[in-house]
C-alpha cells in the first residue's frame, strides 16, 4: 500500500511523500525501510527508520524551531515529534532516518486522532490474507446434507449432517464440526478446534486453535447410592457476530437452554465458560478465567486473567474485575473496578491491604499500651 492510500484509509493527514510503498509493520524502534509504525506519546518519540509513522494530531502543527539530532529526549506533549535530521519535515522535506540527511522523500507521517487504532486498521488491511476460496481440500469429509458455501475447508476437516458454513469462511485443517452446526459469513476457525452438534457461530468470528465449543456442561445428580449421574446437557451454544476466542478455551453447551457469547466480545486463551453462561456485547475476558454455570456478564465488562466466578453471579454492565479475583456464587457485581477474593471495590481492596501491612505497627502499639497500663497499675499498687 502507498502512504497516500493508508492516509485515506485511516482518515489522516499525510505529511510527506504519498507514493512511498509500505509492505509491512513493526514497532517504532525496529522498523526499517518499507515499514509502518506508530507512536502515541509525542513527547518521547525516538528516531526511527520507518518509512511511515502514524502520530497523534496533537503533534501538529510542525514548528520550525524543532532542533534535530537530539535522540530520545523528553519534550512537552503537543510539540512536534522529534525527527532526526532536521527541521524541514513539513511537506515531505524533513527526514526521520538517522544520519541520512536529504532522504526526506522516503519517509512520511500520518496524523490522526487515535494513532493506535489507525495503525491497527492500516496493518490489518496490509496483512489481510488474500483468501483463496479454492473450496474444500480433497481430504475433507463433508456430510452430503451439509451446506457449505464458497468457503475454504482445510485438509482433514470433518463436517457433520445438516451443518452450514457461510460464504468466505476459512475452516482450517483438522477442525471437527458436528451436526446441525451453523457458521455464518467470513468466520475463521483455526486448526483442530472442535465444534459440537447444534452450535451456532456468527459472522466475522475468529476461533483460535484447539478451542472446544459445545462440550457438555458439568452437572450431575447424586443417586441413591451416592453415585453421580449426569444431568442432561442438551442445551446449545450461541456465539454472535465479531466474537474472537483464543486458543484451547472451552465454551460448554447449556444444560437445557443456551450458553451465549454476545456480539463483539473477545475471549483469550484457556478460558472456561460454563453451561448457561450469558455474556453480553463488547466484553473482554483475559486468559485462564473460569466462569461457572449460569453466570450473567452484561455488556461492556472487562475481566482480567485467572478470575474465578461462582455460579449465578451477575456482573452489571461496565464493571471491571481485576486478575485473580474470586466472586462468590450469586453475587451481583455493580459497575466499577473490583479486585481480590472475595472481590471488593479496588479502593477498599487497597486500603485493606494497607491495613494488613500495618498490622506489625498495630501490634507494637497495643503491646506498648498494655505495658504502660501494667506499669500504671503497679504504681497504684
Interface positions, 46-105, toward a copy of itself (CB under 8 A): none
User: Which one from 69, 172, 275, 312 is the annotated catalytic residue?
Assistant: 275
Of the pair 97, 190, the CB lying nearest a copy of itself is at: 190
Distance of CA 232 to the CA centre of its chain: 33
Which residues, 318 to 357, sit near a copy of itself by CB under 8 A?
323-324, 326, 341-342, 351-353, 355-357
List 23, 30, 41, 99, residue binding a copy of itself (CB under 8 A): 30
List 56, 81, 92, 246, residue binding a copy of itself (CB under 8 A): 246
Which residues, 141 to 160, sit near a copy of itself by CB under 8 A?
141, 154-156, 158
Of the pair 92, 254, the CB lying nearest a copy of itself is at: 254
Which residues, 204 to 223, sit near a copy of itself by CB under 8 A?
206, 208-210, 212, 215-216, 218, 220-223
Binding part of the chain for a copy of itself, among 1-9, 47-55, 65-73, 226-234 by CB under 8 A, reads 226-234
CB of 344 to a copy of itself, least distance (A): 9
Measured between its terminal Cα atoms, the distance across the chain in Å is 94
**32 contacts a copy of itself (rule: CB under 8 A):** no
Of the pair 77, 366, the CB lying nearest a copy of itself is at: 366
Three-class HEC string of 163-196: CEECCCCEECCCCEECCCCEECCCCEECCCCEEC
Of the pair 58, 287, the CB lying nearest a copy of itself is at: 287
CB of 141 to a copy of itself, least distance (A): 5
Binding part of the chain for a copy of itself, among 63-71, 86-94, 96-104, 283-291 by CB under 8 A, reads 283-291
Q: What is the spatial distance between Cα 76 and Cα 74, in angstroms, rounded to a whole number? A: 7
Backbone φ and ψ for 346, nearest 5 degrees, come out as -55, -45
SS3 233: coil
CB of 63 to a copy of itself, least distance (A): 29
Residue with cell 487504532: 117
CB of 104 to a copy of itself, least distance (A): 25
List 127, 130, 134, 381, residue binding a copy of itself (CB under 8 A): 127
List 98, 306, 316, 317, residue binding a copy of itself (CB under 8 A): 306
Q: What angle do CA 186, 191, 192 make, to 5 degrees?
A: 125
List 39, 119, 186, 338, residue binding a copy of itself (CB under 8 A): 119
Of the pair 65, 227, the CB lying nearest a copy of itself is at: 227
Would you call the peptide bond into 61 cis, given omega within 30 degrees of 0 as the criterion?
yes
| Exposure class string for 166-176: b at 16+ Cβ within 10 A, else e | bebbbbbbbbb
List 1, 231, 316, 331, residue binding a copy of itself (CB under 8 A): 231
List 1, 43, 60, 120, residue binding a copy of itself (CB under 8 A): 120
Taking CA atoms, 140 is separated from 131, 135, 172, 174, 184, in Å, by 18, 10, 10, 9, 19
Lookup: cell for 328: 462468590
Q: Which residues contact 62 (CB under 8 A, 6 or more apart)?
A: 15, 80, 89, 90
- Contact, 286 vs 304, CB < 8 A? yes
Within 289-358, residue ranges assigned H as helices are: 346-357
Q: Nearest-CA neighbor of 176 among 164, 191, 198?
A: 191
Residue with cell 509502518: 36
Distance of CA 332 to the CA centre of its chain: 24
Of the pair 67, 318, the CB lying nearest a copy of itself is at: 318
Q: What is the spatial distance between Cα 137 and Cα 47, in angstroms, rounded to a whole number? A: 48
Of the pair 18, 310, the CB lying nearest a copy of itself is at: 310
**131 contacts a copy of itself (rule: CB under 8 A):** no
Give the Cβ contact number of residue 303 at 10 Å: 26
208 is catalytic: no
* Residues that are catalytic: 275
Amino acid at each position: 500500500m502507498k502512504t497516500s492510500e493508508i492516509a485515506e484509509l485511516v482518515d489522516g493527514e499525510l505529511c510527506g511523500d504519498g507514493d512511498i510503498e509500505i509492505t509491512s509493520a513493526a514497532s517504532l524502534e525496529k522498523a526499517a525501510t518499507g515499514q509502518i509504525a506508530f507512536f502515541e506519546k509525542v513527547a518521547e518519540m525516538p528516531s526511527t527508520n520507518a518509512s511511515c509513522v502514524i502520530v497523534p494530531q496533537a503533534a501538529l502543527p510542525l514548528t520550525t524551531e524543532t532542533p534535530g539530532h537530539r535522540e530520545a529526549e523528553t519534550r512537552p506533549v503537543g510539540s512536534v515529534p522529534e525527527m532526526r535530521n532536521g527541521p524541514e519535515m513539513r511537506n515531505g522535506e524533513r527526514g526521520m532516518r538517522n544520519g541520512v540527511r536529504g532522504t526526506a522523500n522516503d519517509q512520511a507521517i500520518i496524523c490522526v486522532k487515535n494513532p493506535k487504532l489507525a495503525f491497527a486498521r492500516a496493518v490489518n488491511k496490509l496483512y489481510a490474507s488474500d483468501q483463496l476460496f479454492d473450496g474444500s481440500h480433497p481430504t475433507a469429509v463433508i456430510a452430503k446434507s451439509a451446506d457449505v458455501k464458497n468457503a475454504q475447508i482445510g485438509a482433514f476437516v470433518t463436517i457433520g449432517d445438516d451443518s452450514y458454513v457461510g460464504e468466505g469462511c476459512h475452516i482450517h485443517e483438522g477442525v471437527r464440526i458436528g451436526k446441525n452446526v451453523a457458521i455464518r459469513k467470513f468466520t475463521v476457525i483455526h486448526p483442530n478446534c472442535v465444534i459440537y452438534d447444534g452450535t451456532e457461530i456468527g459472522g466475522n468470528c475468529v476461533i483460535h486453535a484447539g478451542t472446544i465449543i459445545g462440550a457438555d456442561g458439568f452437572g450431575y445428580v447424586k443417586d441413591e447410592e451416592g453415585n453421580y449421574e449426569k444431568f442432561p446437557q442438551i442445551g446449545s451454544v450461541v456465539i454472535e457476530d465479531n466474537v474472537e476466542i483464543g486458543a484451547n478455551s472451552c465454551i460448554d453447551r447449556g444444560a437445557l437452554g443456551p450458553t451465549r457469547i454476545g456480539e463483539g466480545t473477545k475471549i483469550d486463551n484457556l478460558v472456561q465458560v460454563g453451561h448457561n453462561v450469558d455474556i453480553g456485547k463488547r466484553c473482554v475476558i483475559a486468559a485462564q478465567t473460569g466462569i461457572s454455570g449460569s453466570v450473567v456478564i452484561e455488556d461492556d465488562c472487562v475481566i482480567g486473567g485467572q478470575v474465578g466466578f461462582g455460579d449465578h453471579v451477575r456482573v452489571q454492565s461496565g464493571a471491571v474485575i481485576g486478575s485473580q479475583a474470586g466472586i462468590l456464587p450469586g453475587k451481583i457485581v455493580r459497575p466499577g473496578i473490583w479486585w481480590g477474593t472475595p472481590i471488593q471495590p479496588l479502593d477498599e481492596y487497597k486500603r485493606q491491604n494497607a491495613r494488613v501491612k500495618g498490622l506489625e505497627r498495630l501490634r507494637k502499639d497495643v503491646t506498648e499500651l498494655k505495658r504502660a497500663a501494667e506499669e500504671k497499675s503497679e504504681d497504684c499498687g
